[in-house]
Amino acid sequence: MTPRSTNPEDYQDVPRPLGVLARDVPDHQITRWHSHKRGQLVYAASGAMLVRTRQGTWVIPPQRAVWVPAGVQHETQTLGIVAMRTLYIKTTVARRLSRQCRAINVSPLLRELIVRAATFPILYSERSAEARIMRMILDEIHESSMVPLHLAVPTHPRLAGICGAIMRNPACRDTLQQLATAQSMSKRTAERLFRRELAMTFSRWRQQARLLAALARLAAGKSIKLAAFESGYTSQSAFTSTFKRVFGVTPRHYFSA
């Protein structure tokens, strides 16, 4: 049988519905824009990652993963040392999955199945316990719930300039009027573009940007207090309150789940 491989290309045309690539990736490593023939579930058994597409950015902390459909251009960036376990799923098998990128919860069962499958040869026997485990993985992915780890990005260049200023410095206190003026745009035009392109107000978008910036910092090992202040929150309690409202648990419990 074909042995293990750390080359993604070895998993694209293999005559099996699912393959799991396992490799450890150093801190701050960026995989530049690329796409694959197969859809992939990007998962870190330990560590955390950013996944970017032309439509948005996903923060992937422990026990979460992001689904990237076949052919979608994306890049990844590690936040700390990452034990990466990438699942490549045959297009015909992935039809039940979303055609859009989605962040999902990784249950304890799904995690253990992925870790086990990462030891299988690429050409595992189709009549074996290995094949049954692969089918269980697909079932678990289909049943996994989505989580709000996505920050939408606009295509309009001047609106992208406003969003980029916040993404580079989430603690920025500039008003929408100030940010729009810097892009030679009126506040009213900026408000209309936020609703049209991102389906939300500037205030709501900035709140999501700050929340995910803090999440990325927590995933990289920073304290709750430091992550909150660096991301624009006025206090640790304000950040914890917002975090719990969105995710249902406090930051401390979220990362120990």
> Could you tell me the residue ranges of all domains in the chain?
8-143, 155-256
Superfamily of domain covering 155-256: Homeodomain-like (1.10.10.60)
Lowest mean pLDDT among 12-21, 33-42, 215-224: 215-224
d(CA 49, CA 173): 27
Fold classification of 8-143 is: Jelly Rolls (2.60.120)
Q: How many residues does the chain have?
A: 257
Which pLDDT value is given to residue 193? 96
Q: Name which residue leads in pLDDT, 256 or 42.
A: 42
Neighbours of 9 (CB within 10 A): 9
- Which element (helix H / strand E) includes 8? none
Which pLDDT value is given to residue 2? 56
The yes-or-no verdict on residue 47 having pLDDT over 70 is yes
The yes-or-no verdict on residue 1 having pLDDT over 60 is no
Which pLDDT value is given to residue 253? 85
d(CA 206, CA 136): 39
Q: CB under 8 Å to 159, separation ≥6 — which residues? A: 183, 190, 193, 194, 197
